[in-house]
Amino acid sequence: MKIASILENQKIEKRIAITPEIAKKYISLGFEISLSENYGNHLGINDEEYKELGVLTSNDEKKIIIDSDIVVQLGLLNDDKNSLLRENQIFIGALNPYDNKVKIDNLVEKKINIFSLDLLPRITRAQSMDILSSQANLAGYKAVVESFSNFEKAIPMMMTAAGTIPAAKVLVVGAGVAGLQAIATAKRMGAIVFATDVRMASKEQVESLGGKFLTVEGSENLETEGGYAKEASEDFKKKQEELLSETLKKIDIVVCTALIPGKKAPVIIKEEMINNMKAGSIIYDLAAIQGGNTAHTKVDEIVDKNGVRIMGESNILNKLPTSASNLYAKNVFNFVSNLYDKENKKININLEDEIIEKTLIK
């Protein structure tokens, strides 16, 4: 079996799908690996590290794709390389199927087996493959670090002979994986942390990390069976707005993480709320790429609104590409291992396996 990966478009994606550590694991299973030349150079991994393990490298990316049984990437290939994929080939990535529906449907029509790991079910057996969790963890951490580096005051409380500097107050909107990591990181750095989420199950998790959970009176539990957030009712939104409006007046830093799979991100922080915030406050919007959780989020721009700076990037993980690649590559390897019939040394697309059935785009 031949598995391959080529370099992503470096302007938008610096992560890689096969690290040397994971290449060694694939080879031990009996896979032959082919990669683009200079595949990991930008992460400080030279081709020799791969070659010493038995990995083949080539500057002919078209041949790499054509000759492989499995192609693993972060996102979809560009159109001229997509056209090289052939019937019964397997393509695995984090493909954002809601936004890339037309391109993916075209590949499915060609009878290519497309697996999108952002469709993994939230079950115990899939945890080692869960790219959303592994990548969101890093994103939550980095969002706090970026916010703090742009905030022009100290974060922890400091008691000095000249007086006391109060601790910064942080609000995390959305207590999923990214939000919980943001809470933990902000607490470790000495901030006072508040959090809000439409899923009542989050309350205990937030409080276990030392955060204060802001509860909307008469809350409804807005959680799908798969553990994701679903859209709130108008009544809930109104109550949430009132609570947030009052809270934001005393908050220094806001980290927004609220997303609904397959939909535009909900606008939670409205213009009038931003107008009531203190000048010098920071909002970091992790939902920027899906429209943003604020009224003024712009991707890859810092928007200054009456002294409140609103930040959001298309891919914050490009600032942690080595750590993100290490985790992503492990997730993908665990997924491929689940697909691979080790006894017969072939891929077995068993649709009775919930992991395979949910991630295969049909």
Q: Output the tens digit of pLDDT for each of the chain's 362 residues.
A: 999 999 999 899 999 999 999 999 999 999 999 999 999 999 999 999 999 999 999 999 999 999 999 999 999 999 889 999 999 999 999 998 888 999 999 999 999 999 999 999 989 999 999 999 999 999 999 999 999 999 999 999 999 999 999 999 999 999 999 999 999 999 999 999 999 998 888 999 999 999 999 987 655 555 555 555 556 677 777 888 889 999 999 999 999 999 887 788 999 999 999 999 999 999 999 999 999 999 999 999 999 999 999 999 999 999 999 999 999 999 999 999 999 988 888 899 999 999 999 999 98
**Are 327 and 264 contained in the same domain?**
no
Q: What's the rounded Cα separation, in Å, for the pair 101 and 81?
A: 17
Q: Is residue 295 part of a domain?
A: yes
The domain that holds 32 is classified in CATH as 3.40.50.720
**Are 154 and 272 contained in the same domain?**
yes
**Are 303 and 337 contained in the same domain?**
no
**Are 54 and 74 contained in the same domain?**
yes
* Backbone region of residue 285 per phi and psi (left: phi > 0; alpha: psi in -120 to 50; beta: other values): beta
**Are 211 and 66 contained in the same domain?**
no
**Are 308 and 285 contained in the same domain?**
yes
Q: Which two tokens stand for residue 42?
A: 């930008």
Exposed/middle/buried for residue 59 (C-beta within 10 Å: 0-12, 13-18, 19+): exposed
Catalytic residue annotation: 122, 127, 130, 133, 228
Exposed/middle/buried for residue 281 (C-beta within 10 Å: 0-12, 13-18, 19+): buried
Interacting residues of 87 by C-beta distance below 8 A, sequence separation 6+? 110, 111, 112
Q: How many domains does the chain have?
A: 2
Least Cα distance to 179 among 154, 146, 202 occurs for 202
What is the chain's mean pLDDT, rounded?
A: 93
Q: Is residue 125 part of a domain?
A: no
Domain region containing 111:
2-119+321-361
Residue 311: phi, psi to the nearest 5? -120, 150
**Are 18 and 72 contained in the same domain?**
yes
